[in-house]
Chain A
Amino acid sequence: MTSASSGDASRIQPPRTPFWRADWARGSLWQALLLAAFVWLMWSAIDNASVNMRARGVPTDFGFWNRPAGFDINQTLVPFTSSGSTYGRAFVVGLLNTLLVAFFGVIIATLLGFLIGVARLSRNWIIARLATIYVEVIRNTPLLLQLLFWYNAVLKPLPNPRQSVSLPGSVYLNNRGLFVPEPIFGAGSDWTLWALGLAIIASYVVKLYAARLRIVSTKRIPVGMIALGLVIGLPALSFLIAGAPLTWSAPELRGFNFQGGVRIYPEFVALLLGLSLYTAAFIAEIVRAGVLSVSHGQSEAASALGLPRGRSLRLVVIPQAMRVIIPPLTNQYLNLTKNSSLAVFIGYPDLVQVFAGTVLNQTGAAVQVISITMAVYLVISLVTSAGMNLYNRRMALAER
């Protein structure tokens, strides 16, 4: 704007402004000075830290990364042993555990949040009040307290392994976790996977075809049902043709605890429950705000067209509400991911517990470990934001 106006001025007054008074020159000068100040600040902070660390005999390098860890972790998604695994491997284990709980947490919190947000607007007095109570109770108590509550609420009533609750299908529940049979895939089971992939592609084709059909004719085909049939039917068929190459390794009680099978740890369940229930309360409020932001005329118009309330909500109101919902929803996803670091209080081996806890303490490399941990959370947050921004762009009003 300013450069345009100064351009106009130069056309009227022939003597040009000297370059040191030009806006672009001054602008660049200030930018350069700011950059220099920033670089100097960063450099002096790093230099100051490393000088002080060296003076105190604290390690300043990353040499610990490849040294054997010497401690154990209970829940690991990749193999980890105290003798053979390095601190670097411990970092990977912690990171994966963080991502695991954040991934499932985001899904559950979103589903629950939408449900409760819509329920708060329900015409049914009881449902609306219950949703309000949920939101107010959960939102107004500290998350850490809730996590400790869930951990104890999950643990306390459960029996010890020898008195496990036995559920149908070799599923056992005790205060060491939930034990379910582990599927062991035999030869030919990869066909099932291929069939699933094929079914997904086929469903997509059907969807495209249905969209075309709606333009050229008034015919409508039930895409959802067809896709569901494909996704379930095709893999099931190929699974049967291959001779059902699947066996189950059931957990069995040996010594102190169940061995074999897949185990879901109580720490994981407590953390997942705590995080999703807490975040769901905030998402519910965001959804409610989003729905209320859609002009009342829209739902009136929908009901004038004869759409029942459920469909008008799903087809008219929610899509428009999404534009208001998505940006603050992203914040909640980021919050959930970062809050997962409270895992340290209930013994869930996440990144902060394993890496910024045990590894930091054993190696003494506090500055390095904390920098890496911060960088990881930054990257996770940036990737989440980027994904949500993409989605937001797709949902935004297409302005022409």
Chain B
Amino acid sequence: MKVRASSLGFALAAATTLGFMDLAAAQSGDKTSRTLEQVRARGFLSCGTNTGLAGFALPDDKGSWSGLDVDLCRAVSSAIFNDPNKIKFVPLTAKDRFTALQSGEIDVLSRNGTWTQSREADLGLLWAGVNYYDGQGFMVRKKLNVSSAMELSGASVCVQQGTTTELNLADYFRSKNMKYEVVAFATANEAIKAYDSGRCDSYTTDQSGLYSERVKLMNADEHLVLPEVISKEPLGPAVRQGDDQWFNLVKWSHFVMVNAEELGVTKANADERLKSTNPEIRRLLGVEGDFGKALGLTADWGFRIVKHVGNYGESFNRNLGEGSPLKIKRGQNALWNKGGLQYAPPVR
């Protein structure tokens, strides 16, 4: 009898604890409609990033993150806290990233994720824009003497699992009626290592990824990125559905950076441009009107972003372009008035 009673006591204690936890979980569930309040109360932004992709998100030897995707989180943090460093970066593999966002572990997923219909409709997410227009490509060894993806029939292809890449690959070879062998790995790092050790003839991912992963290979010069782009990969930040204010905040943080580039406002000249007479610049920097209020921010939120992070062009150049080891051309990611696709609606 005694044994029974004490084990019961334990069970009840466990039940109470778990029940309490349930309650806490339910409460946090209600609060997700106010992500901004949560972030403010917590004191930092929880930003889901890549585990390490040069140019997009990569920590340096001091643990400080940099990259195009990181800059987007820094922009959001600057807008909220007037500080680009109030961020907890959560490195995520491709297959874990959406679960982390759905479960509320992170506030924004800025992890070179492709915007697709099913990810919005089925997974309950929203893409807040496109900060990099990309497409999937293949990398092969030069000594294979392959000059086109059409010659890859029968090849073994290393790929990171849980990506659109994995699906595009299947579609591409199926539509071209070619055979291939897929070898899927949990992280890009393992996939690229297997390719490097000769397990696969080809490694496939978004072209930007191919260029930045090539740096990791033993002899980068022995590898070649094939010219074919087999898919559309609009990469951008994603948020959970059900919090429109937060969705707008993230979306417009990106647009502010694009607009700043278009209007010639840079990190260096932001202070001086506060005195500008151009009404568009005045609205962007919060000198005229109060466009931050509806987003739950201060009027100068746009100024804060440009001041701390810089405009889109600066960020691109610093992380991917001429100012970086990757030297990727702007291409589709140039501004709309310079032959690219980056276009932001006006602040007004």
Q: Give residues in A with beta carbon < 8 Å to B.
A: 2, 23, 26-27, 30, 33-34, 37-38, 40-41, 44-45, 48, 51-52, 55-59, 70-74, 82-83, 152, 155-156, 158, 160, 175-176, 254-257, 259, 266-267, 344-347, 349, 353, 357-358, 360-364, 366
Contacts and interface: CB of A to CB of B under 8 A. Distances in A.
Contact of B18 (A45, A58, A155, A357): A45
Given A73-B182, A255-B155, A360-B99, 15 more contacts: A26-B1, A38-B11, A48-B26, A57-B124, A58-B124, A71-B166, A152-B197, A155-B199, A267-B183, A344-B185, A347-B185, A358-B162, A361-B161, A364-B98, A364-B122
Interface of B: 1, 4-5, 8, 11-12, 15, 18-19, 22, 25-26, 29, 32, 94-96, 98-99, 102-104, 118-119, 122-124, 152-156, 158, 161-163, 166-167, 169-171, 174, 180-186, 190-191, 194, 197-199, 201, 240-242
A358 B166 contact: yes
B240 to A, nearest CB: 6
A155 B11 contact: no
A30 B162 CA distance: 48
A155 B198 contact: yes
A255 B150 CA distance: 13
A56 B32 contact: yes
Contacts of B174: 82-83
A71 B167 contact: yes
29 contacts: A2-B1, A27-B1, A30-B8, A44-B19, A51-B29, A55-B29, A56-B32, A56-B240, A56-B242, A57-B240, A58-B124, A71-B182, A82-B167, A82-B171, A155-B199, A156-B197, A158-B198, A254-B154, A255-B155, A256-B152, A256-B153, A257-B155, A266-B199, A346-B185, A360-B95, A361-B163, A362-B162, A364-B102, A364-B122
B98 to A, nearest CB: 6
B198 A357 contact: no
A345 B190 contact: yes
Contacts of A256: 152-156, 201
Interface of B: prevailing SS: mixed
A156 B196 CA distance: 10
B156 A71 contact: no
A348 B118 CA distance: 27
Contacts of B162: 357-358, 360-362
A55 B95 CA distance: 22
Contacts of B1: 2, 23, 26-27
A88 to B, nearest CB: 17
B199 A175 contact: yes
A74 B186 contact: no
Given A257-B156, A353-B184, A358 B95 contact: yes
B107 to A, nearest CB: 13
A228 B185 CA distance: 44
A117 to B, nearest CB: 34
Contacts of B153: 255-256
A74 B194 CA distance: 15
B183 A74 contact: yes
B124 A70 contact: no
Nearest to B126: A57
Contacts of B163: 361
A204 B169 CA distance: 53
B177 to A, nearest CB: 12
A277 to B, nearest CB: 21
Given A37-B15, A345-B190, A360-B99, A155 B197 contact: yes
